[in-house]
Structure 1
């Protein structure tokens, strides 16, 4: 195995990627969606933001039939995400202008056809695919120092022009893998692990500020969630 293959093998992670629309929805409790949430506990509704305004249903993530699920979500069955029209612009804990609900038991989940009529996001079901090799952006703090040093050495020696001669990033919605930051990335905090990414989606009429992404991370110890956004 040469140096380039070693770098790729050390960095590569698996992920589940998502494709917007293109098939007839089933409205089942195993179907993921963008722009629509219909799985709730009996006492739950679409949440309101800090200003008392109804949030936008953003993402429904059903994990049962996905090709890859990170270990941190081993016992999780469903995740739903709502966002305020006053979208948070910085590192933000759950409940502050955005809400993530995580369900580990589907017995208590029922179907509710709830909508926010003012939402600009077009609802689409999501199919999925296995991403065998996902890689970080060059600015990601997750790249170990010895690997970044080796990449810089290969650049100095003229073997490669840049890190991106070796790898390609996977943009779009994905669970697992790495956050595909538009800018330099962020440190979520001690014990937090990046879990999934919601991306700007032309088909769903979702433009995150300026063709950006939302990144959601979970704390291994407390199970709390953290939000981050960046854009071009």
Structure 2
């Protein structure tokens, strides 16, 4: 099997986020930047007295194979603490938080507290594209010996022409790393990219990546930027 055939065989389908740009409906339960659903008896999540910023709410039934990805839940929410999101691969609860709900029954749409309302809320709709998502150049070395492509401009150009990836917010597929990939001990689950509509920026046009550890099955985060 040649290198191109090998890489083509590992393409994955990703669910891509469309953030705003359409008329919101009451059926839109995935949101970026706010309008999250909450148990009215549960306080807003915080860390060291700081209320966490709502980044992404995912209505899991909207995601192809969503329960295979996230488990037996209906809703997942991701929050960050901008004052603490500064160390390498923090675990869930260390500067960020992923929260799951088994069902949305009894949850109500909440107003984000003023201190956490840094983003403009937009509804999100998810779609799958015909083109597979492929690993970036650095990660491709984990699947094939890229030396031949590395030594040929023609083959290198062909690689970047044939093996595209989705750089926007997505679930599944491969992480669109800007810097180097992290350890293979982490299973990539989703990417939250810098998004202009809600005013979300990670460093210099960076990304957040969410993983589940293959070692302890806990959730972890990594981010990089230009």
What is the TM-score of this pair, normalised by structure 1?
0.84
Counterpart position of 2:12: 13
Tell me the number of residue pairs that the alignment of Structure 1 and Structure 2 aligns.
222
Aligned with 2:44 (options 43, 46, 53): 46
Q: Secondary structure at the match of 1:114?
A: coil
Counterpart position of 1:113: 110
For 1:92-134, what per-residue CA distance to the aligned partner results, in whole angstroms no more than 9, with x for missing partners? 0111121110223334x41132213243211100122103400
Deviation of the 1:54 alpha carbon: 1.2
5 Å-filtered alignment, 1:50-69, equals: 50=48, 52-69=49-66
* Structure 1 position 161 matched with structure 2 position 159: no
Q: Secondary structure at the match of 1:215?
A: strand
CA–CA separation in structure 2 for the residues paired with 1:111 and 1:205: 25
Check conservation: 2:73, 2:100, Cα contact below 8 A.
Answer: yes
Check conservation: 1:14, 1:134, Cα contact below 8 A.
Answer: yes
| Structure 1: tracts of 5 or more residues without a match | none
CA–CA separation in structure 1 for the residues paired with 2:96 and 2:141: 26
Q: Secondary structure at the match of 2:61?
A: coil
Deviation of the 1:159 alpha carbon: 4.6
CA–CA separation in structure 2 for the residues paired with 1:4 and 1:15: 22
Q: Secondary structure at the match of 1:134?
A: coil
Counterpart position of 1:152: 147
* Structure 1 position 230 matched with structure 2 position 224: yes
Structure 1 runs, 4 residues or longer, greater than 3 Å off: 2-5, 67-70, 154-159, 219-223
Classify 1:221/1:3 alpha carbon distance in 2 versus 1 (closer, same or farther; 3 Å): closer
CA–CA separation in structure 2 for the residues paired with 1:117 and 1:226: 27
Q: Aligned-residue CA RMSD in angstroms?
A: 2.5
Aligned with 1:31 (options 25, 29, 32): 29
Q: Which moved more, 1:75-84 or 1:157-166?
A: 157-166
Counterpart position of 1:184: 180
